[in-house]
Amino acid sequence: MRKTQKNFLIGCGFALLGLFTALVIVPAQVKTTKNIMDFQPTFFPNFSCYLIVGLSLLLIVRNLWKDKKLLSDLIPNLRASISTEAFVSARNIVIALLMFCVYYFLFQTIGFICSTVIILPALFFFMGWRKPLPAAIITALVIAVLYVFFNYVMLLKLP
């Protein structure tokens, strides 16, 4: 896979992640004030997300401009223009983003610990890591560290 194809796919992935965060996660997690003259708490999260989307689009456009072959390949037939490795990589990015969307909704319904126990090993398995004992240990450590950090350092209760 050429470097421009990788950068193109990375730009697409970050653009989708930024849009998902700005349009779904921020409105669900940050409450706005009723007075429109107040400085809204959603300003900086939305600004960060849209900055990520803008820089991702800049990366995409730069790679399309720099590699004319990539542009001419993408327009006629998207599936045939991208190599098999690039297509698998793009598919993996989309599936990982969908898994994070599922994690977000599981997090809201069944809580932090249960949803992380489900999604983190599933991500390990999906990405090709098939060792159950290290995956279980790493999952337990991630849950413990994040729980301690949010509950005792940040003083935030996780659902």
Digit-coded pLDDT (tens) for 32-82 = 777 666 677 777 888 888 888 888 888 877 777 676 555 555 555 555 555
Q: What is the pLDDT of residue 51?
A: 86
| Same domain assignment for residues 51 and 7 | yes
Residue 84 in any domain: the answer is yes
Query: Which residue in this structure is represented by tokens 């398995």?
Result: 125
Asked if residue 32 belongs to a domain, the reply is: yes
Q: Say if 128 falls within a structural domain.
A: yes
Is residue 99 a part of any domain in this protein?
no
* In a shared domain, residues 45 and 85: yes
Task: Count up the domains in the chain and report the number.
Answer: 2
Range of the domain at 136: 111-159
DSSP 33: P
The type of residue at 95 is I
Task: Indicate the pLDDT class of residue 118, thresholds 50, 70 and 90.
Answer: very high
pLDDT band at 117 (very low <50, low <70, confident <90, very high): very high
- In degrees and rounded to multiples of 5, residue 120 shows phi and psi of -60, -50
Q: How far apart are CA 103 and CA 109, in angstroms?
A: 10
Instruction: Report percent pLDDT > 70 for the chain.
Output: 79
Given this model, what pLDDT does residue 145 score? 93
